[in-house]
């Protein structure tokens, strides 16, 4: 007991030294309907055999209808957010039910309420890496499969890992790194190519908004040009006038520009381009400051969302379960880059967020060692040359993240890629609940995924 107390006091840990890895004592999978929340004791450091510290990692499972003797395991990998049952993205759950599978959501370390430490101090964040996240998944799935087999006999259950965006990349990387554990990966909008100067993101916002109208694109550009003009003219009062509309007067100039364009990006990225452009077109005859005012009224985010952009707020290591700002900023600052910079000549974002802005931002929050290692990440995982089999990649044609994803198939490896060009088809589009308004293209890709999973699980269509 003394050792545990000293661990917590001296190191700021919420860990238990030497606690056995695995489920809580007496844990059994419940067959009652609905998802059940549990915790799993996982290692903090998977790569130091002398380090036996563990932490509690949350997971949710639904075993109602699960064929314990033969059914597969579907794992939905959560990412840079508070995990939970995603009621808006139930298509993978429905697919799992068709196979009498158990469906599990696993929370990512350092997000939600799955924290190895009592705070997000920079020294603690060295354990926040994709490699550790993948090892977490490997240990967890091994225990799940072993438990099912030991209690219900039979062969190892087949496993499908599912993820969207960063977790989509984790899904693909997991299949590559742990092919003896996962039989296949469903990698939606998987951001597998780490790029530091990601100006194609900006180019896609230009292209996607233009699908609605030139008026929509010019409105986005005009708003940013007005902000930049006030910056360049050292018009502090004018800059503050814009920031005040969003309750962001104290925010760094570049951080505000990043925050503002993400309001626009979020709508296009997640399939609401038509709604956004209709709104921007309706206010296009107003003065630019009045357009800002309308956007602030219509789209302004809560305070905790703004804090994820404000470098001064991001310095605070306090854990907030519902906020992922500091943790995700650390990951992209150190592992991936994904620095969204203006595309030359046609940019739809402020000139204040050029490449240097991102370096300065990362160092301001985490110190001089916070340098993006995108090249090293790509060497480790393979980037667009990822060599693995049994992966189904999807991307939305209007999604700016498509440019760091796999968009070409390699059928010799059963590595399939589909880019959906339907209207408002954005990030992780096929994961969302099916509706009567879904395009024929989206319906066709979902049907193809189902057939592909049939073959993975049974060797033939079900």
3 state SS for the chain = CHHHHHHHHHHCECCEECCCCEECCCCCCCCCCCCEEEEEEEECCCCCCCCCEEEEEEEEEECCCCCCCCCCEEEEECCCCCCCCCCCCCHHHHHHHHCCCEEEEECCCCECCECCECCCCCCHHHHCCHHHHHHHHHHHHHHHHHHHHHHHCCCCCCEEEEEECHHHHHHHHHHHHCCCCCCEEEEECCCCCCCCECHHHHHHHHHHHHCCCHHHHHHHHHHHHHHHHHHHCCCHHHHHHHHHHCCCCCCCHHHHHHHHHHHHHHHHHCCCHHHHHHHHHHCCCCCHHHHHHHHHHHHCCCHHHHHCCCHHHHCCCCCCCCCCHHHHHHHHHHHHCCECCCCCCCCCCCHHHCHHHHHHHHHHHHCCCCCCCHHHHHHHHCHHHCCCCCEEEEEECCCHHHHHCCCCCEHHHCEEEEEECCCCCCCCHHHCCCCCCCCHHHHHHHHHHHHHHHHHHHCCCC
Q: Do 263 and 144 fall within a single domain?
A: no
Quote the number of domains for the chain: 2
Per-residue model confidence (pLDDT) at position 402: 98
**Distance of alpha carbon 381 from alpha carbon 47, whole angstroms:** 17
What is the domain range of residue 81? 1-192+382-462
Q: Do 355 and 236 fall within a single domain?
A: yes
Q: Do 71 and 163 fall within a single domain?
A: yes
Q: Do 263 and 150 fall within a single domain?
A: no
Q: Do 134 and 216 fall within a single domain?
A: no
Per-residue model confidence (pLDDT) at position 304: 62
Per-residue model confidence (pLDDT) at position 74: 98
Which of 375, 403, 433 is the last residue before a domain boundary?
375
Per-residue model confidence (pLDDT) at position 3: 35
Which of 322, 352, 375 is the last residue before a domain boundary?
375
Q: Do 356 and 255 fall within a single domain?
A: yes
Per-residue model confidence (pLDDT) at position 16: 44
CATH number, domain containing residue 462: 3.40.50.1820
Q: Do 185 and 212 fall within a single domain?
A: no
Which of 345, 375, 405 is the last residue before a domain boundary?
375
Q: What is the pTM of this model?
A: 0.95
Q: Do 293 and 393 fall within a single domain?
A: no
Q: Do 161 and 224 fall within a single domain?
A: no
pLDDT tens string for the chain (462 positions)?
Answer: 323 333 433 334 444 445 799 999 999 999 999 999 999 999 999 999 999 999 999 999 999 999 999 999 999 999 999 999 999 999 999 999 999 999 999 999 999 999 999 999 999 999 999 999 999 999 999 999 999 999 999 899 999 999 999 999 999 999 999 999 999 999 999 999 999 999 999 999 999 999 999 999 999 999 999 999 999 999 999 999 999 999 999 999 999 999 999 999 999 999 999 999 999 999 999 999 999 999 999 987 665 678 899 999 999 999 999 999 999 999 999 999 999 999 999 889 999 999 999 999 999 999 999 999 999 999 999 999 999 999 999 999 999 999 999 999 999 999 999 999 999 999 999 999 999 999 999 999 999 999 999 999 999 987
Q: Do 294 and 437 fall within a single domain?
A: no
The percent of residues above 70 in pLDDT, for the chain, comes to: 95
Q: Do 276 and 227 fall within a single domain?
A: yes
Per-residue model confidence (pLDDT) at position 347: 85
Q: Do 242 and 184 fall within a single domain?
A: no
């Amino acid at each position: 007991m003394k050792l545990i107390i000293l661990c917590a006091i001296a190191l700021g840990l919420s860990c238990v030294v030497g606690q056995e890895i695995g489920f809580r004592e007496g844990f059994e999978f419940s067959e009652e309907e609905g998802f059940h929340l549990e915790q799993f004791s996982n290692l903090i450091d998977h790569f130091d055999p002398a380090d036996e510290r563990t932490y509690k990692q949350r997971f949710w499972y639904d075993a109602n209808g699960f064929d314990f003797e033969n059914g597969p395991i579907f794992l939905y990998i959560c990412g840079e957010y508070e995990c939970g049952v995603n009621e808006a993205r139930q298509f993978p759950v429905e697919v799992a039910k068709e196979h009498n599978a158990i469906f599990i959501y696993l929370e990512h370390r350092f997000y939600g309420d799955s924290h190895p430490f009592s705070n997000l101090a920079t020294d603690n964040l060295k354990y926040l890496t994709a490699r550790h996240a993948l090892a977490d998944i490997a240990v967890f799935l091994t225990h799940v499969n072993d438990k099912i087999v030991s209690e219900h006999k039979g062969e190892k259950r087949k496993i499908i890992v599912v993820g969207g965006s960063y977790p989509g990349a984790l899904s693909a990387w997991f299949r590559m790194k742990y092919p003896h554990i996962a039989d296949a990966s469903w990698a939606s909008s998987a951001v597998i190519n780490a790029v530091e100067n990601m100006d194609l993101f900006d180019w896609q916002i230009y292209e996607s908004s233009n699908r609605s109208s030139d008026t929509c694109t010019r409105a986005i550009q005009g708003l940013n040009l007005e902000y930049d003009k006030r910056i360049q003219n050292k018009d502090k009062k004018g800059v503050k006038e814009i920031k005040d509309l969003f309750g962001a007067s104290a925010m760094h100039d570049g951080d505000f520009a990043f925050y503002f364009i993400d309001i626009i990006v979020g709508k296009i990225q997640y399939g609401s381009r038509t709604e956004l452009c209709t709104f921007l077109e309706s206010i296009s005859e107003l003065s630019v400051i009045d357009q800002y005012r309308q956007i602030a009224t219509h789209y302004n985010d809560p305070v905790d969302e703004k804090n994820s952009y404000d470098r001064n707020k991001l310095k605070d290591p306090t854990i907030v379960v519902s906020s992922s700002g500091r943790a995700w900023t650390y990951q992209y600052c150190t592992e991936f880059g994904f620095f969204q910079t203006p595309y030359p000549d046609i940019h739809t974002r402020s000139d204040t967020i050029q490449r240097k802005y991102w370096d300065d931002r990362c160092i301001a929050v985490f110190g001089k060692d916070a340098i993006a290692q995108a090249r090293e990440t790509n060497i480790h995982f393979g980037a667009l040359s990822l060599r693995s089999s049994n992966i189904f990649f999807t991307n939305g044609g209007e999604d700016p993240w498509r440019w760091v994803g796999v968009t070409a198939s390699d059928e010799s490896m059963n590595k399939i890629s589909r880019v959906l060009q339907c209207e408002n088809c954005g990030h992780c589009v096929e994961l969302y609940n099916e509706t009567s308004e879904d395009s024929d293209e989206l319906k066709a890709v979902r049907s193809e995924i189902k057939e592909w999973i049939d073959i993975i699980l049974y060797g033939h269509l079900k």
